[in-house]
Structure 1
Amino acid sequence: MANETTSNCVICWVHGMVQGVGFRYSTQREAQRLGLTGYARNMDDGSVEVVACGDNEKVEQLITWLKAGGPRSARVEKVLTEPHQPGREWTNFGIRY
């Protein structure tokens, strides 16, 4: 079944100069463009947490975008990812505060 798509969720922590530079909003736009659901939020340690759910290929595309640095104003030093099983399903990709 080559046309069958598999969906999953990942949680990512993006470290570097990623707060105060529009990173969450750019991530939201990219995730929406890819048709993903989830959220982005600033963490107390200066990183941004991203939860992305959807088609495996699209999730991987978002991770690649995050690792490539996201918006031009950001400076990504590292991106940590792991599989995630959220306690709920999202209907869109939002920004959490």
Structure 2
Amino acid sequence: MAANKFFGSIELRFINFLLGAILFCVVYKPHSVIGSKNTLIEMSAKQIFSTDFEIFGKVQGVFFRKHTEKQAKLFGLRGWCMNTSQGTVRGQMEGELNKVNEMKYWLQTKGSPKSRIDKAVFSETKEIPDYTFKAFTIKR
């Protein structure tokens, strides 16, 4: 009976080890596939998305653009923002979808410390084949 428990324990550990190894392969090589002749082929993992935005409220004269540029760079986004003659801030951003969504939330709820955001309008977020901009900049 003791031998049965011992071997059952070893079998369970072996199964856990195998499952862990399989999970490791899936998690750490998610963008590789086995091609012909058992060679690894790397596939593009990064999808790039773009959206335009316009922010309404007290967003001029409160360093909104400067804070937007800083936050976009922290998220690794590219694009631009600028003041408009209507008192809004408009712009465009592009990057990974989760980062674009985080920036949308930041533009809707945070902004610069002295800003007041009344409304944030975004165009449809769409996938693009490649980056259009080299960095995130402030247009004047």
Query: Runs (4+) of structure 1 moved beyond 2 Å?
Result: 2-6, 83-86
Contact 1:5–1:56 (CA<8 Å) still a contact in 2?
no
Larger relative strand fraction: 1
Look up the match of 2:86: 45
User: Structure 1: how far apart are the matches of 2:87 and 2:59?
Assistant: 7
| C-alpha distance in structure 2 between counterparts of 1:93 and 1:16, whole Å | 22
Q: What is the distance in 2 between the residues matched to 1:48 and 1:94?
A: 13
Quote how far apart the aligned CAs of 1:35 are: 0.3
Alpha-carbon deviations, 1:3-34, whole Å to 9, x = none? 63421110000000000100000000000000
Describe the SS at the equivalent of 1:83.
coil
1:15-71 Cα shifts (integer Å, max 9, x gaps): 000001000000000000000000010011000002110001100000000001311
Q: Secondary structure at the match of 2:62?
A: coil
Secondary structure of the equivalent of 1:49? strand
Equivalence map 1:63-74=2 (5 Å): 63-74=104-115
Segments of structure 2 that go 5 or more residues without pairing to the other structure are 1-29, 32-44
Alignment match, 2:10: none
Work out which structure has the larger RCO, using CA pairs closer than 8 Å and 6 or more positions apart in sequence.
Answer: 1
Bigger proportion of residues as helix: 2
CA RMSD of the aligned region, Å?
2.1
TM-score scaled by structure 1? 0.89
Q: Which residue of 1 aligns with 2:133?
A: 90
Provide the rounded CA distance (Å) in 2 between the counterparts of 1:43 and 1:83: 21
Amino-acid identity (%): 26
User: Which is higher, the Rg of structure 1 or of structure 2?
Assistant: 2
Q: TM-score, normalised by structure 2?
A: 0.63
